[in-house]
Structure 1
Amino acid sequence: MKKKYLSLAGGAVLALGVVTACGAPSNNTGSNASSSGSASTTTHQVEIFSWWTAGGEANGLNALIKTFNKEYPQEKIVNEAVAGGGGSNAKAVLASRMQAGDPPETFQVHAGQELMAWVNAGKMQPLDNLYKSMGLNKVIPAAIINDLSKNGHVYAVPVDVGRGNVLWYNPAVLKKYHLTAPTTMSQFISELKTLKSKGVTPLAYGDKDQLGSVMLWENVLLATMGPQNYDKLWQGKISFNNPQVKQATNTFLELLQYTNSNHSALTWDEADQMVADGSAAFNLMGDWAKAYFQSKGLKEGSQFGWTAFPGTNNDFEYVIDSFGLPKGAKNPTGAMDFLKLVASKQGQDEFNPLKGSIPPRTDANMSLFDTYSKEAMSDFKKDSLVPSLANGEAANPAFETAATQAVTMLISTKNVNEFISALNTAAEENPLS
């Protein structure tokens, strides 16, 4: 849930969310974080930015704000969650504030290149001491910490791990037409053809905020190239002129023949609703869609089902939300209290079941999670882990903005060569490595 970046400091994005507490707060802050916010000088206001306003995301955010207020009654949360634009509206407000030297106490930001845009611009405080005091290096996988670090310093704490390559479906619709969850692209296309012939929207997607279209394209790309070549593409080791990129793009255009005609008017959750009410069979979206379905009272397995996007059965496209401490925050003490909650076992165990994601901590209480999340936890440990372009992990924000515009152009023109040329230009202007 995000999209479209502003071009600040390489074009970063931000937002927030809230998480719970565990035990009394310590007095440790990040290695360079200010600790001047004493009881006599702090504003007692903790502004947090996020784009979590829909379904399970909003439920998780609200529950965690309640917990924070209980654990830290001396602080006042100011919830700056901004709806619309798949996160771009919130990020626009945040970028303006960061440029003006008026940052919130903390903000939601995806691990990887999205976070690094702000780190490279010198806008973030390192959190080395927080990691040390909470023993986070022992419970958060090194691969995740690496995505949050630069030059040996870590700049954010992760709150969740989402999966971006999930194909959701309505079990009743598939049963009615004697179909099963597809595992290969050829089976998928065959089933889409069947559904279209029956007058059912085969594949729902919403790209009003451009999230749905970029995620669909990158998943077809992953299915076509495989995890190793897919990774090399985002590392700048394989050119966009690679024949597999063209093949994937043609397959993407083929899939669009089976989508809803009003996709440009729908957000990601409105496309999910088409699957929920049975007017569409399938939808490709991250596992925050599960929380959306559950917020509507649907039961997993019987009223909504899932499978890895066809051709990506052994891959896990990760989407990691995190929070950091921006330089110039007016209440660094309150910000650090919030970060402690975000990083805590209790906080992550409370937040993730509601959001539909899994905790980055390895000591999560498995009994709190449903069937889908338990499967995701298992897959996260054994599958090939790959980053998401659409959600900020794979490439720098400036490239992502250009790629998003290129996908939008492709949907309109259907010109594959022009699309690949646009990607090559974007990579030249915004190097991937």
Structure 2
Amino acid sequence: MKLNPARAQRLAVSRSGLLGALLLTLATALPAARAGEIEVLHWWTSGGEARAAQALKASMQAKGHSWKDFAVAGSGGDSAITVLRSRVVSGNAPAAAQIKGPSLQAWAREGVLTSINEVARAERWDDLLPQVVSDQMKYRGDYIAVPVNVHRVNWLWVNPAVFARVGAKVPSSWDEFFAAAETLKKAGVIALAHGGQSWQDLTLLETVTLGVGGAEFYRQAFVLREASALNSPTMDKVLSTYKRIKPFTDRNAPGRDWNLATAMVIKGEAAMQLMGDWAKGEFLAVGSQPGKGFICTPAPGTAKSFIFVVDSFAMFKLKSPANSAAQKDLASAVMSPEFQEAFNLSKGSIPVRLGMKMDRFDDCAKASAQEFSTAAKQASLLPSIANGMAAPSSIEWALKDVVSQFWNSDKMSTAEAMKRMVEASRRQ
């Protein structure tokens, strides 16, 4: 049937109105259909870390999802993993959990993680990440985790006002470190803020190992875990240097959280801290600026070397389709340039995504990003043994125990410590 022009126009308008109403209905309904609950286990509970976690929460809420915070404070994540395991065993896993390094593959072997290849392929993660990072995010070729950031471990944090007051020089070698520490101690200042927890004890040792033994020795000792390196004259020198540091810490160090040690430097109660760049987030959280309120410099003897930690979220299998969809949105949000910038500006770390603009980042972060990129190209990045990046958890924990016993004992010799480190490295 042929319509006259006027009727045809009215029908077209009617159809247009119906189509518009339909599109409006779909636009309103789709977010509700996709909306899910995202429960995320993490241990970002200190000032700078908590502010960084809020950036992720805001990103997910903007997509219409509800955020359920599953934060467990303390022990560099040790307590959080204990809680996570009980949740998984009971069949009540969160959508995502902060897990990193070889532990990702261990969880994947248990069959509790889900593939997020759909997101990774669509967004070309293989092209956006250094291979050393993307390999850690995969299990049998499938992405089962999304990387969040990159931390450099081998940093020395300095309160310049304290140094200026006592006339000490910011050290770049271990000889200079001990000279400065003596000056500070004579002036009644705690030279080094330290938290006497096992992961912090081992973090300090790995930094000393790199500074005394060099990158290749570090690789042999803590990545390859060769007995000839762990029980060697070089390791003897490392351990001797390590124990020389303790008199420059304070008697209240045992059990202290790392951020409380950072607070000592911020307040001028201590002059230095050897810690990863998550410490920078604490300075930034109180308005302190690099070069003014604090100085970041490579740990003694470690300039141009890079011990790394990559935080990542493992994605667990979920029963709810809506929550699974939200989980994919979470993975996409974490890798977005917007989140990578916002999160890392708050956290004190650097983006894991290559090719990011660093205009808004401070000089510490710019230097760290440049050295990370160079080391990735040269395949010379060094994973942190103390922070879950270089060894299975059984070996990591065994080494933590040995190192803490050596740190706290006046009777254990370097020879005995080396013997125990060799035994710990053979744990299965």
Is TM-score (shorter-chain normalized) higher than 0.5?
Answer: yes
The alignment partner of 1:367 has SS state of: coil
Asked whether the 8 Å contact 1:345–1:363 carries over to 2, the reply is: no
1:228-307 alignment to 2 at 5 Å? 228-233=216-221, 234-239=223-228, 240-307=230-297
Choose 1 or 2 for highest CA Rg.
2
The alignment partner of 1:429 has SS state of: coil
Instruction: Tell me how far apart the structure 2 counterparts of residues 343 and 423 of structure 1 sit (CA, whole Å).
Output: 38
2:397: which partner in 1? 401
1:132 to 121, 128, 134: 121
CA deviation map 1:83-125 (0-9, x unaligned): 1233222111101112222210011112x21222212333322
Asked whether the 8 Å contact 1:103–1:329 carries over to 2, the reply is: no
The alignment partner of 2:292 has SS state of: coil
Query: Partner amino acid for 1:427?
Result: S
Deviation of 1:355 (Å): 0.6
Instruction: Tell me how far apart the structure 1 counterparts of residues 409 and 261 of structure 2 sit (CA, whole Å).
Output: 23
Deviation of 1:59 (Å): 0.3
2:28: which partner in 1? none
The answer to whether residue 81 in structure 2 is matched with residue 96 in structure 1 is: no
CA deviation map 1:306-328 (0-9, x unaligned): 11110111111111011121234
Instruction: Name which of structure 1's ranges 421-430 and 389-398 shifts more when overlaid on structure 2.
Output: 421-430
Asked whether the 8 Å contact 1:102–1:329 carries over to 2, the reply is: no
CA deviation map 1:402-423 (0-9, x unaligned): 1111122112224133322322
2:198: which partner in 1? 210
Identify the structure with the greater helix proportion.
Answer: 2
2:6: which partner in 1? none
1:418: which partner in 2? 416
2:145 to 156, 178, 183: 156
The answer to whether residue 427 in structure 2 is matched with residue 429 in structure 1 is: yes
Instruction: Tell me how far apart the structure 1 counterparts of residues 74 and 391 of structure 2 sit (CA, whole Å).
Output: 23
TM normalised by structure 1 equals 0.85
| Count of aligned pairs between the two proteins | 388
Query: Partner amino acid for 1:388?
Result: S
Asked whether the 8 Å contact 2:315–2:327 carries over to 1, the reply is: yes
Instruction: Tell me how far apart the structure 1 counterparts of residues 409 and 226 of structure 2 sit (CA, whole Å).
Output: 28
List structure 1 segments (4+ residues) > 6 angstroms apart after TM superposition. none
Deviation of 1:226 (Å): 1.2
Asked whether the 8 Å contact 1:125–1:326 carries over to 2, the reply is: yes
2:111 to 116, 122, 130: 122
The alignment partner of 2:156 has SS state of: strand
Instruction: Name which of structure 1's ranges 305-314 and 257-266 shifts more when overlaid on structure 2.
Output: 257-266
Instruction: Tell me how far apart the structure 1 counterparts of residues 54 and 296 of structure 2 sit (CA, whole Å).
Output: 27
2:326: which partner in 1? 334
1:356 to 345, 348, 352: 348
Asked whether the 8 Å contact 1:269–1:289 carries over to 2, the reply is: yes
Q: Which runs of 5+ in 1 are unaligned?
A: 1-37
Instruction: Name which of structure 1's ranges 138-147 and 194-203 shifts more when overlaid on structure 2.
Output: 138-147
Asked whether the 8 Å contact 2:55–2:339 carries over to 1, the reply is: no
2:135: which partner in 1? 146
Asked whether the 8 Å contact 2:152–2:306 carries over to 1, the reply is: yes
Asked whether the 8 Å contact 1:105–1:329 carries over to 2, the reply is: no
Asked whether the 8 Å contact 2:172–2:299 carries over to 1, the reply is: yes
1:306-317 alignment to 2 at 5 Å? 306-317=296-307
- Please report the RMSD computed on the Cα atoms of aligned residues, expressed in angstroms: 1.8
Query: Partner amino acid for 2:258?
Result: W
Distance 1:161-1:309 versus aligned 2 partners, 3 A rule: same
Instruction: Tell me how far apart the structure 1 counterparts of residues 108 and 420 of structure 2 sit (CA, whole Å).
Output: 27
Asked whether the 8 Å contact 2:168–2:183 carries over to 1, the reply is: no
Instruction: Tell me how far apart the structure 2 counterparts of residues 350 and 429 of structure 1 sit (CA, whole Å).
Output: 40
1:367: which partner in 2? 359
The answer to whether residue 150 in structure 2 is matched with residue 167 in structure 1 is: no
Asked whether the 8 Å contact 2:95–2:317 carries over to 1, the reply is: no
Deviation of 1:79 (Å): 0.6
Asked whether the 8 Å contact 2:60–2:66 carries over to 1, the reply is: no
Deviation of 1:238 (Å): 4.6
TM normalised by structure 2 equals 0.86
